Amino acid sequence: MPAVKPSPRGAVAPLPTLVLATLLSLSALASTSWAETLEVRIGLISREPQEYIPLSSLEIPIENDGLEGAMQGVRDNNTTGRFTGQAFSISPVALEGDDASGALRKLHAEGLRLFLVSLPAEALLALADLPEARDSLIFNIGAPDDPLRTQDCRANVLHTAPSRAMLADALAQYLAWKRWQKWFLVVGPHPGDQAYAAALKRAAKRFGAKIVEEKAWTFEAGASRTDSGHFNEQQLANSFTQVDDYDILVVADEADEFGEYLNYRTYRPRPIGGTQGLIPAAWSGVMEQWGATQFQRRFRDETGRLMTPLDYAAWLAVRSIGEAATRTQSADAQVLRDYILSPDFELAAFKGVPLSFRDWNGQVRQPILLSEPRVLVSVSPQQGFLHQFSVLDTLGYDRGETQCGRD
């Protein structure tokens, strides 16, 4: 190999041909990107949050739940978009009444075709069925209802929020691994509690557990701030849980009204899981694996708080749009939908595996975290639970268990 001659003092050595060509290509791409920026506008429709009285003064009220997650997704998308010629933005609408249809029509008239929706299932379906939604793509970031994934599917709706079945299956897999197969199920009075309980019953049957006792919670908690409140709750929980032996008390209390009062007060010394205790969720502030620490820190620096499951579902939706827009170089809702549901779509989401969407019901496949307030306990799917295509499809309704199909 011939020796390389040193450049004279003060002279600039010529760049290698390959490096020079690369720099010229990047410069041309940057010039094109700035000249032909593709705007990707996203709407977010939610309801003004109801007043919530926390169980403890340690709970910090959460502001802009969901919106902050969407904003984080926009920031992440725009970091890449500066080089790929795309600019992402979010247009939030917080409803004070029930006119979600009017909100979507207004955003649609302004040219938006991509929407994040955090509304109950009935309102979500009403939006999906609007004539204006036929050329749009809606991401369900809030409704966990299983019928949205089994029978009430819509071709223009994708789900980044996990279903109740996914959450229940994640918990049941871990309990099966622990061999805690005898469950005592306590169910609250609200429709959401009943739906969560139904998902737990399905999961128990699916993974070999047995519900040895089931009781409905009919008492009103809330005396904890009185001088003798703790004693009343202690006595009530102790007497309520005097049942035959079981391995774990499983709680269905989505409204967070009573489940926390059962901890350490049961008649038998047994663990608690479900909506309280060991909680299955898409995201938790205690998550630190697979690069999540840096992700959590970036979010906290921007918002001053931890990311919630709703924030994470909104972030997933915006990032899915960003990934699809980058790959397809399009902001068309149908083009993005087709790519997101294709085998080519993968999304890195700080969970150790790439995420994808089920083409039969539009549900994102994702691991589910099992955590308590201060530490991550486990992540499902658990080892040993197998599937012919994806182990993530052991969580929730599989292709053959749903009436939904994708064209």
Question: One digit per residue, pLDDT tens: the chain, 407 residues?
Answer: 444 444 444 444 444 554 445 444 444 444 444 458 999 999 999 998 877 776 777 778 899 999 999 999 999 999 999 999 999 999 999 998 888 999 999 999 999 999 999 999 999 999 999 999 999 999 999 999 999 999 999 999 999 999 999 999 999 999 999 999 999 999 999 999 999 999 999 999 999 999 999 999 998 765 555 544 566 788 899 999 999 999 999 999 999 999 999 999 999 999 999 999 999 999 999 999 999 999 999 999 999 999 999 999 999 999 999 999 999 999 999 999 999 999 999 999 999 999 999 999 999 999 999 999 899 999 999 998 888 889 999 999 999 999 887 44
Residues 180 and 329 placed together within one structural domain of the fold: no
Among 127, 81, 123, CA closest to 321:
81
Hey, how many other C-beta atoms are within 10 angstroms of the C-beta on 193? Answer: 23
pLDDT at 33: 42
* Contact present, 62 and 305 (Cβ < 8 Å): yes
Amino acid at 233: E
**Is residue 222 in some structural domain?**
yes
Same domain? 56 vs 83: yes
For residue 231, the model assigns a pLDDT of 64
Q: Is 4 a member of any domain?
A: no
Please calculate the CA angle 285-287-291 and round it to the nearest 5 degrees.
125
Q: What is the structure's pLDDT at 247? A: 98
pLDDT of residue 59: 78
Domain boundary among 281, 314, 338: 281
Same domain, yes or no: 132 and 183? no
Q: How many domains are contained in the chain? A: 2
pTM above 0.75, yes or no: yes
Q: Looking at residue 323, which CATH number applies to its domain?
A: 3.40.50.2300
Question: Is the same domain home to 250 and 276?
Answer: yes
287: left (phi over 0), alpha (psi -120 to 50) or beta: beta
Q: Is-contact 199 167, C-beta < 8 A?
A: yes
- In terms of domains, do 318 and 270 share one? no
Say if residue 81 is in the same domain as residue 136: yes
**Angstrom distance (rounded) from CA 367 to CA 380:** 6
Query: Which of residues 232, 261, 281 is at a domain's end?
Result: 281
Residue 403 belongs to a domain: no
Assign 167 to helix, strand or coil: helix
Q: Is 390 a member of any domain?
A: no
What pLDDT, on the 0 to 100 scale, is given for residue 223?
Answer: 54
> Rounded CA gap, 290 and 268, in Å?
37
Give one DSSP letter per residue of 290-334, joined into a string.
Answer: TTHHHHHHHHHHHHSSPPPHHHHHHHHHHHHHHHHHHHHT---HH
Find the length of the chain.
407
Whether 299 and 67 have beta carbons less than 8 Å apart is answered as no
Range of the domain at 206: 165-281
76 with 219, same domain? no
DSSP string computed for 46-102: EEPPPP---SSTTSPPP-STTHHHHHHHHHHHHHHHHHHTEEEEEEEEEESSS-HHH
* Domain limit, last residue, from 349, 366, 383: 366
> In terms of domains, do 61 and 200 share one?
no
Q: Amino acid letter at 32?
A: T
- My answer on whether 154 and 51 are in the same domain is yes
Identify whether residues 42 and 151 lie together within a single domain: yes
398 domain-assigned:
no
In this structure, is residue 374 part of a structural domain? Answer: no
368 to 101, 210, 279: CA distances (angstroms): 32, 22, 10
Structure tokens at 51: 């007043």
- Does residue 9 fall inside a structural domain? no
Output the CA–CA distances (angstroms, integers) from residue 86 to 55, 62, 297, 319, 365, in the order listed: 44, 31, 25, 13, 26
Based on the fold, state whether residues 173 and 268 are members of the same structural domain.
Answer: yes
- What local confidence, expressed as pLDDT, does residue 31 receive? 46
pLDDT of residue 73: 98
Burial annotation 334-358 (CB, 10 A radius, 16+ → b, else e): eebbebbbeeebebebbbebebbbb
What is the sign of the dihedral through the CA atoms of 113, 90, 147 and 98? negative
Report the Cα 118 to chain-centroid distance in Å.
11
Please check whether residues 231 and 151 belong to one and the same domain: no
- 393 lies in some domain: no
